[in-house]
Chain A
Amino acid sequence: MNHKGEITNRTLLYLSILAIFITLFGATVSFVKLGKVELPLITGLAASSTATGTVNVTISNTISISLNTSFVDFGNGSLAAAPSYTPINTTAGTNPSTFNEPYGLVIRNDGNVDINLTINGSTAAQFLGGTTPSYMWNASDNESNSCGASGLNYSTKNITGNITAMSNTHTRVCSNLTFADATDEIIIEIYLNLSADTPAGRTYTDTAVQLRGEHFIG
């Protein structure tokens, strides 16, 4: 029985369908705004229009070197009596008297090319006083294979491993210091032989030491 003013079942059905439609429409609009659904929903492969892009990046060769320290300071100490000499160095061995135990010069190739590394500085006579002092250095890998391939001895390797007197002219340290992170460090140890008659009461400084890197292929 249908009473006046009451909503019929059919009307309720229509209202329900309308509510569902409005809900679906609202949800679709929301998703499109959020970018979750793209319209038109039917898509296809473009037959002829193709857009392409090219990205070019050129990396320049950069030569860059760094040192672990800006000075090697042996501090102060007493000298052995004549005719002996007092040897001090940057290697692991203990220096005599109260001399410091400075670390050697670690050179790292920070660039993106292999480099040829040379060193020059004052001579022993220019740097130190006394009778025939010596001022020498040698180089070795601080990270294995940094200066050439493994398995080679110093006579065939690209590194100056024998102890060499410091000279005013640039001398080869390593002719092929590589740049890969794990193999880009070498160490230069410094050796001084101080004469017993080295004048006391003054500080000896060599500011002429220069480590020079160059990449001269071709």
Chain B
Amino acid sequence: MKKGYLILLVLAMILPSTTAIGLSPTSIFINYEPGVTKTFNFFIVNNLGVDMDASLYTDGEYATFITFKEPVVRVAPWQNKEVAASITFPSTLLEPGPHHVKIGAVENPANRVTQGIAPRVGIEMKIKFDIPYPGKYARFQLDIPYINTGEKLPVTLTTKSLGKETINTIQGTITISNDEKIQSILPVTINSVQSEEEKSYHQVLTTENLLPGDYHAQASLTYDGIYGEANTDFRIGSRYVNVTNYTKTFEQGKIGEMIIAIAGRWNGNIDDVYATIDVAQEGRGITTLKTPSISLGPWESSILRTYIETATLTPGYYDIVITLHYLGGSTVEKGQILIYKKIHINTTYILIVAIALIVIIDILWLLRKRKS
């Protein structure tokens, strides 16, 4: 009997208490060729210290195009297992445009304790391919990263020919605007793009004349007389953190939590951001509060917290000055907070009044009845 318990204990220690599965990469692009079979590989990731079986499947309209060498893959502990697969494109016509097939892997529950609710984990990736359009067809993508003021601005326009015919010339402009005002216009020319070919236009701009803020870029192009466009938004950052909101009302007699919402406008990390809050009434300083420091990521919004003791403060409006400190600079926001007194309703008094009213009504009713 004791031996049996020991075996159970050992089994409980060996059996995995967690489940996990991984897949890499998250998508693969295959060049489409009708009637051709193409092979590709991907990896199943085992992040556990025990063997894992993964069942593979496909999903989507073109799921039958995919074949796996092995439908179930065993992966050793802490290892990646390379899986070979192939895609066979039919010779028949398919609908033009971008398509994909999903490939999924589900952790196999074999040899696992299953009682109660026994979840499995699975992941999916995409196998993508483009079916060429008849004639000429171009897809455009405009990429402009977020930068900081003073830095160079790289502008990249990528075009891919998804039609069966070669595109001779692509011409047009990239317009950069801010608050609906045009800041810069770049002429674009790309020559000879074969079917399925991808070409890029690249330009680096100086930003001396561009103020920090939010920008919009639009590429308006014609390829052999056909119109196409691409759009993107980007930002130019400055060393600035903005106060976007803060708690404005507090109940008297309590320790009130003051939340200050802030938003970073810098394309990089800002460490050691904190606020001091000066509270005053009619020009007389009442108290100064300070929040703990936090770190902000690029363009990140977050909140700062501090607490205000309102027991000694009389109800009314108070002037506050919030000063945000960061990167050796500061932002000042002025405003007001309201300390209010909560009216407590005593139910005993309400009941006494109600009973008194009923008694008065009864007396009045009795008097009236006697008179009549």
Chain A, Cβ-Cβ closest to B45 = A64
Q: Is the CB of A214 within 8 A of B25?
A: no
Kindly state the interface size class of chain B when it binds its partner: 35 or more
Q: Is the CB of A111 within 8 A of B115?
A: no
Q: Is the CB of A70 within 8 A of B17?
A: yes
B239 at the interface (CB under 8 A from A): no
For the complex, give the distance between the alpha carbons of A70 and B19 in Å.
6
Q: Is the CB of B117 within 8 A of A206?
A: yes
Q: B23-47 CB contact bits vs A (8 Å, 1 = yes)?
A: 1111100000000000000010101
B residues whose Cβ falls under 8 Å from a Cβ of A: 15-27, 43, 45, 47-48, 102, 104, 106, 109, 112-126, 261, 301-303
Q: Is the CB of B25 within 8 A of A207?
A: no
From A71, A74, A107, A215, residue with most partner B Cβ within 10 Å: A71
Chain A, Cβ-Cβ closest to B116 = A73
A174 at the interface (CB under 8 A from B): no
Give the shortest distance, in Å, between A201 (CB) and chain B (any CB): 15
Q: Is the CB of A210 within 8 A of B120?
A: yes
Known pairs A70-B19, A210-B122, A213-B121; list 8 more (Cβ under 8 Å). A62-B25, A62-B43, A65-B20, A67-B18, A69-B19, A74-B116, A205-B114, A209-B118
Kindly state the interface size class of chain A when it binds its partner: 35 or more
A11 at the interface (CB under 8 A from B): no
| Chain A residues near B116 (CB-CB < 8 A) | 71-74, 102, 204-206
For the complex, give the distance between the alpha carbons of A51 and B23 in Å.
39
Contact partner of A72 among B23, B43, B117, B126, CB < 8 A?
B117
A sample of 15 cross-chain residue pairs with beta-carbon separation below 8 angstroms, ordered by A number, consists of: A62-B22, A63-B26, A63-B125, A64-B47, A66-B48, A70-B119, A71-B119, A102-B116, A151-B301, A205-B115, A210-B121, A211-B120, A212-B122, A213-B124, A216-B126
Give the shortest distance, in Å, between B181 (CB) and chain A (any CB): 30
| Chain B residues near A63 (CB-CB < 8 A) | 22-24, 26, 123-125
A190 at the interface (CB under 8 A from B): yes
Q: Is the CB of A205 within 8 A of B123?
A: no
A203 at the interface (CB under 8 A from B): yes
| Chain B residues near A97 (CB-CB < 8 A) | none
For the complex, give the distance between the alpha carbons of A74 and B116 in Å.
7
| Chain A residues near B22 (CB-CB < 8 A) | 62-65, 110-111
Give the shortest distance, in Å, between A63 (CB) and chain B (any CB): 5
Q: A147-164 CB contact bits vs B (8 Å, 1 = yes)?
A: 001110000000000000
For the complex, give the distance between the alpha carbons of A23 and B244 in Å.
77
Contact partner of A215 among B26, B48, B302, CB < 8 A?
B26
| Chain A residues near B19 (CB-CB < 8 A) | 66-67, 69-70
A49 at the interface (CB under 8 A from B): no
A113 at the interface (CB under 8 A from B): yes
Q: Contacts A66-B18, A68-B18; is A61 near B25 (CB within 8 Å)? A: yes
Chain A, Cβ-Cβ closest to B102 = A214
Chain A, Cβ-Cβ closest to B15 = A70
Give the shortest distance, in Å, between B113 (CB) and chain A (any CB): 6
A124 at the interface (CB under 8 A from B): no
Give the shortest distance, in Å, between A5 (CB) and chain B (any CB): 83
Q: Is the CB of B123 within 8 A of A64?
A: yes
Give the shortest distance, in Å, between A11 (CB) and chain B (any CB): 75
A52 at the interface (CB under 8 A from B): no
For the complex, give the distance between the alpha carbons of A136 and B113 in Å.
22
- CB interface residues, A 54-105, toward B, < 8 Å: 60-74, 102, 105
| Chain A residues near B125 (CB-CB < 8 A) | 63, 214-215
Contact partner of A105 among B20, B47, B119, CB < 8 A?
B119
Q: Is the CB of A67 within 8 A of B20?
A: yes
| Chain B residues near A190 (CB-CB < 8 A) | 117
For the complex, give the distance between the alpha carbons of A69 and B102 in Å.
27
For the complex, give the distance between the alpha carbons of A121 and B17 in Å.
20
Give the shortest distance, in Å, between A198 (CB) and chain B (any CB): 14
- CB interface residues, A 116-152, toward B, < 8 Å: 121, 149-151
Q: Is the CB of B20 within 8 A of A211?
A: no
| Chain A residues near B123 (CB-CB < 8 A) | 63-65, 212-214
Q: Is the CB of A212 within 8 A of B124?
A: yes
Query: Which 7 A-B pairs have CB atoms at the shortest separation, nearest pair first?
Result: A64-B22, A66-B20, A73-B116, A62-B24, A209-B119, A61-B26, A72-B117
Q: Contacts A62-B26, A63-B125, A70-B16; is A210 near B21 (CB within 8 Å)? A: no
